[in-house]
Amino acid sequence: MVEPATATQAAAPAVAQLKDELDIVIPTIRNLDFLEMWRPFFQPYHLIIVQDGDPSKTIKVPDGFDYELYNRNDINRILGPKASCISFKDSACRCFGYMVSKKKYIFTIDDDCFVAKDPSGKAINALEQHIKNLLSPSTPFFFNTLYDPYREGADFVRGYPFSLREGVPTAVSHGLWLNIPDYDAPTQLVKPLERNTRFVDAVLTIPKGTLFPMCGMNLAFDRELIGPAMYFGLMGDGQPIGRYDDMWAGWCMKVICDHLGLGVKTGLPYIYHSKASNPFVNLRKEYKGIYWQEEIIPFFQQAVLPKECTSVQKCYIELAKQVKEKLSKVDPYFDKLAEAMVTWIEAWDELNPTAAAVPDGKAK
Amino acid sequence: MRTSPSLLSLTIDSALLNLSNIADLSPLPDHIVLDLFLLPARTRYFLSSRHSTFESQLPLSFLPDVLRNSEIVLISETCTSLDYRVAISCFSEALYFGIELLFVFGKMSLAIRDDEIDIIIGAIRSDLTSFMNEWRPMFSRFHLIIVKDPDLKEELKIPEGFNLDVYEKSDIDRVVGSSTSVLFSGYACRYFGYLVSRKKYIISVDDDCLPARDPKGFVVDAVAQHITNLTTPATPFFFNTLYDPFTEGADFVRGYPFSLRSGVKCALSCGLWLNMADHDAPTQALKARQRNSRYVDAVMTVPAGSLVPISGINIAFDREVVGPALVPALKLAGEGKFRWETMEDIWSGLCVKVVCDHLGLGVKTGLPYVWRTDRGDPIASLKKEWEGVKLMEEVVPFFQSVRLPREATTVEDCVVEVAKAAKERLGSTDPVFARAAKAMLDWVNLWKSVGSISSSPAV
């Protein structure tokens, strides 16, 4: 049986890396008690809390954390009519946090995720590992069988061309979960007792041209490199679909990263996912997505971005165009989504005026 | 077919009505469970997790018509297995419309007989006594082929108690003729074993590797793990973040398309190495004391379209499916008797991956680990031979750019196409490539004439 680390085991690191360059974005509707567990690792950092659901409720934040909190009223006030692109009654609203942040890096985590233990029993500082992942290069052009070659104790294997050993900048670090795995509703219903107890001690780059299901529970990214692509879509209240927010962002993000020559890593760190959501509720939310993803995946696999798309925003607007062209025949929802994608970019540029000055990526 | 109701049938009828209240069906004997669900015209479906894991590898077309049209969907270890995808889609639709659905999942095990496996060892060193004795618990069940490096002068020392065939230079010359026997020198001698083997699955480890131990201290059965890798599907078209979804305790994650969950056949399994990892000479020379102690408990499919340096130190493959694609082709001018002085396996592996990607087959990497003993001096190797490292700068872009024509539907055809492309694009860069291209064609011819099990056309 896998267990979370207890508060006393979690020891604060000697140096909180990037503490002025990283924001922690947390969506929540209930409370933030889980932060107590993370205190030694998170306290040096600034938090952006995005309160979903009823804005009249007060979310209690444990003492000692430096944070800003946004509820639906704030989102409406700040974005005006553009607030329509931010989901309501769904954790997808977290992407508002990405938009208002002024930092270079974002780490986002769900409020039912706790500190995990590695096989030796030591508490895992997930944030520290994400930072390591983001600060070291990725290797998307050739698969290294010893996984991340920049990790201590590892390296490139025989046969790996030296010209590819410099790697590319890492845009996204995708962490995993012990205990309750991120299964979809049908799998949850069939295997309600399955727990992820396997600690796989690896970080690896997802190769160029390969898509993957990106989970938003334990995720970090370089906002300057890829921020505008991390739109979590239209989910929740008034929408025909839920629990596909992070998936959608992940597919858009990967296509753009592949186009711009940026890297995406997955693997460590692990967090301890404590709460299994209701699979029947999940099924109702996911039901359409399960069918739509059969169309969506080939769309992303075949998506080609023109050479002129040299910035994330340009890539994203182009993707929105293609979504409208090719996916609206699946369901009118995609029309709305494509428009929301454009609104998102407009809102992003409005709130981040210097973003236009971000050096254009090299398009492939 | 039932006629008048029996006590048993009445009990079953009654049980069926209340089945949703029964959490655990496992105490029921199989034939009762079958009886419950093969009865026609049942209108209730029930949810149950009889077993915690399941494997489904048969396509939708396997579902008998009667079951497809009936209102019961059955998946059972004693019955035909359904495509998981179909099961889930039935389930989702049923739930959506307020009908409960029953699944009884069982494990479909692919029982591999021992006589389907050959363990093939290329003997680069003459004294295999400790090597064979260390591997005895894992090897002794199987037939072994030991191929002696034709350049090795000393007699092979092999301990008793194994079912094996040994091939030496004279055998190689006899079977393939002395002009083509040059293909099989050094580490490439093992390919002769691949050629003459008549088994479906081949496992090959270098003669300086021993069984490894996992973090709990248990000895790793590399043979069993390779066979598991080869007999469970690979998933090259979409990356599963929990790695191998067919392993115990894991599954496909949310967002993984259901149509891709049956996977494809796994043609090749690449294992890893503890202690001396397979680094090239410059890397090992630079990090002289680095030893690989990280045991990564995962198997994963290398995604389609992504190339990978496949080390020959610890591999297994399905000979029937992909045999001709492992080619003893790239022989460095100064090729030596240490892995640092070779690149033949890397070229071979790139060829296999390109062919697998084209034919929709899978390649897995990760477990099992072997323990690779310290041997040789990387600096000495580096001084002698670093041609291999330089050549990779040409080799990798070449393989990345190879496009196989649609008409190439067999492995042999694919290999011939790769050879042709190598000759055209690389032949003039370095004579070693022209020789490699020719060697590939010679190999395919040998395969057709000597390797009498021809590979089946691609699916």
A131-181: pLDDT as tens digits: 999 999 999 999 999 999 999 999 999 999 999 999 999 999 999 999 999
Q: Of A210, A204, A242, A217, nearest to B239 (Cα)?
A: A210
Q: What is the pLDDT of residues B5-14, one digit of tens each?
A: 677 667 766 6
Helix (H, G, I), strand (E, B) or coil at A46: strand
Query: B438: Cβ–Cβ under 8 A, 6 or more apart, which residues?
Result: B419, B423
Query: A295: Cβ–Cβ under 8 A, 6 or more apart, which residues?
Result: A327, A330
Query: Angle formed by the axes of helices B344-359 and B387-401, to 10°?
Result: 10
The sign one gets for the Cα dihedral B61, B64, B67, B69 is: positive
CA distance B315 to chain A (A): 13
- What pLDDT sits at residue B182? 85
- What pLDDT sits at residue B37? 55
By the CB < 8 Å criterion, does A155 face chain B?
yes
Residues of B in contact with A198 (CB under 8 A): 249-250, 297-298
Contact: A146, B277; criterion CB under 8 Å: yes
ipTM over 0.85: yes
d(CA B286, CA B459): 45
Residues of B in contact with A195 (CB under 8 A): 249
CA distance A174 to chain B (A): 9
Residue type, A293: Q
Least confident of A247-261, A343-357, B64-78, B407-421: B64-78
Helices marked H in B287-410? 319-322, 344-359, 378-384, 387-401
Q: Of A323, A321, A312, A318, nearest to A348 (Cα)?
A: A312
By the CB < 8 Å criterion, does B162 face chain A?
no
d(CA B95, CA B101): 7
Paired sense of beta strands A170-179 and B209-211, if any: unpaired
Mean pLDDT of B364-381: 90
* Whether residue A318 has pLDDT greater than 90: yes
Q: Of B52, B91, B26, nearest to A195 (Cα)?
A: B52
Tokens of B32: 């009762």
* Whether residue B50 has pLDDT greater than 70: no
Contact: B306, A210; criterion CB under 8 Å: yes
* Whether residue B33 has pLDDT greater than 90: no
* Whether residue B102 has pLDDT greater than 90: no
Contact: A145, B343; criterion CB under 8 Å: no
Q: Which three-class secondary structure string do you get for A289-312?
A: HHHHHHHHHHHHHHCCCCCCCCCH
Q: What is the pLDDT of residues A118-135, one digit of tens each?
A: 999 999 999 999 999 999
Query: B143: Cβ–Cβ under 8 A, 6 or more apart, which residues?
Result: B115, B117, B118, B119, B163, B164, B165, B199
Contact: B239, A142; criterion CB under 8 Å: no
Contact: B254, A280; criterion CB under 8 Å: no
By the CB < 8 Å criterion, does A276 face chain B?
no
Provide DSSP, B304-335: TT------TTEEEEEHHHHGGGS------TT-
By the CB < 8 Å criterion, does B429 face chain A?
no
CB A165, CB A129: distance < 8 Å: no
Instruction: Establish how many alpha carbons lie within 13 A of residue A264's alpha carbon, considering only the half-sphere containing its beta carbon.
Output: 28
The sign one gets for the Cα dihedral B445, B448, B450, B454 is: positive
Least confident of A14-18, A35-39, B278-282, B383-387: B383-387
By the CB < 8 Å criterion, does A358 face chain B?
no
**Count of A–B CB contacts within 8 Å?**
200
**Partner residue facing A191 (CB), from B49, B304, B349:** B49
User: Could you tell me what percentage of chain B is helix, strand and coil, using 3-state DSSP and rounding each to the nearest 5?
Assistant: 40, 15, 45
